């Protein structure tokens, strides 16, 4: 008896394609990493805050003394090349006599602050010394990063953080037997120096009328940036 052989059925091309697409794909791996980089920058701007105060029998008298002192300080500061000058808060109040004061004469006190900043440390320190001699008191003096220097430092810290992030992604992929595919999402964050603009404080004579210019030693400032990303890894 002759054997009966059933002919093979050919699968249409479209059906075969559909079957292949229905096969489970090898899943991608999502990796989340964060990297922080810090650069150290030398401060490029010296900032100072000074104050003039006066006492008078009336508010107007006290204010007149402060106004005259501030006018002289402003003229001297503006005559110094490269120094940015701004006046700060103005305050006037009545001074109440102490309980054991025998002199009950009315007294008013007025004050105003002066803010200076510049890149030439020598010129700034001479100016601050001159203003001390003229009767102003120094409230704060120190080096800090200017806005431009801070921006450049943050950009460099961000670049280093991103480079470090890519390096860690490659290391993690190798350890998992996978390979880097792409960054799915990246979040960047700059970390400002804490607290606020970091000032390298100087040894300053706080007494008005000081004859010796103050000194201010600059201290390097760390600036940090963080990069966080979702990273897609794929099979080799």
Number of Cβ atoms within 10 Å of the Cβ of 202: 20
pLDDT in tens, 71-93: 999 999 999 999 999 999 999 99
- Pair 129, 205: CB distance under 8 Å: no
- Whole-angstrom distance, CA of residue 217 vs CA of residue 215: 7
Q: pLDDT 10s digit of each residue in the chain, 236 long?
A: 555 555 555 545 555 445 545 545 557 899 999 999 999 999 999 999 999 999 999 999 999 999 999 999 999 999 999 999 999 999 999 987 766 767 768 899 999 999 999 999 999 999 999 999 999 999 999 999 999 999 999 999 999 999 999 999 999 999 999 999 999 999 998 666 544 444 444 434 444 445 567 888 888 999 999 999 999 999 98
Assessment of whether the complete model's pTM goes beyond 0.75: no
What's the CA angle centered on 44, arms 42 and 46, to 5 degrees?
120
Domains of the chain and any CATH numbers:
46-144 (3.30.70.2970)
């Amino acid at each position: 008896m002759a054997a009966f052989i059933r002919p093979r059925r050919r699968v249409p091309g479209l059906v075969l394609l559909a079957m292949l697409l229905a096969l489970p794909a090898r899943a991608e791996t999502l990796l989340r990493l964060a990297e922080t980089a810090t650069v150290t920058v030398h401060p490029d701007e010296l900032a100072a805050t000074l104050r003039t105060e006066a006492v008078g029998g009336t508010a107007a008298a006290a204010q007149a003394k402060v106004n005259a002192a501030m006018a002289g300080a402003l003229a001297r500061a503006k005559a110094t090349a490269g120094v940015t000058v701004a006046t700060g808060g103005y305050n006037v109040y009545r001074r109440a006599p102490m309980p054991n004061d025998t002199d009950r004469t009315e007294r008013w006190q007025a004050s105003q602050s002066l803010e200076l900043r510049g890149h030439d440390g020598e010129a700034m320190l001479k100016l601050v010394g001159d203003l001390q001699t003229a009767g102003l008191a120094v409230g704060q003096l120190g080096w800090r990063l200017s806005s431009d220097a801070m921006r450049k430092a943050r950009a460099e810290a961000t670049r280093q953080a991103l480079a470090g992030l890519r390096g860690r992604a490659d290391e993690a992929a190798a350890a998992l037997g996978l390979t880097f595919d792409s960054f799915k999402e990246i979040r960047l964050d700059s970390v400002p120096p804490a607290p606020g603009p970091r000032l390298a404080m100087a040894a300053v004579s706080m007494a008005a009328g000081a004859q010796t210019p103050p000194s201010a030693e600059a201290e390097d400032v760390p600036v940090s940036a963080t990069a966080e990303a979702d990273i897609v890894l794929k099979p080799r």
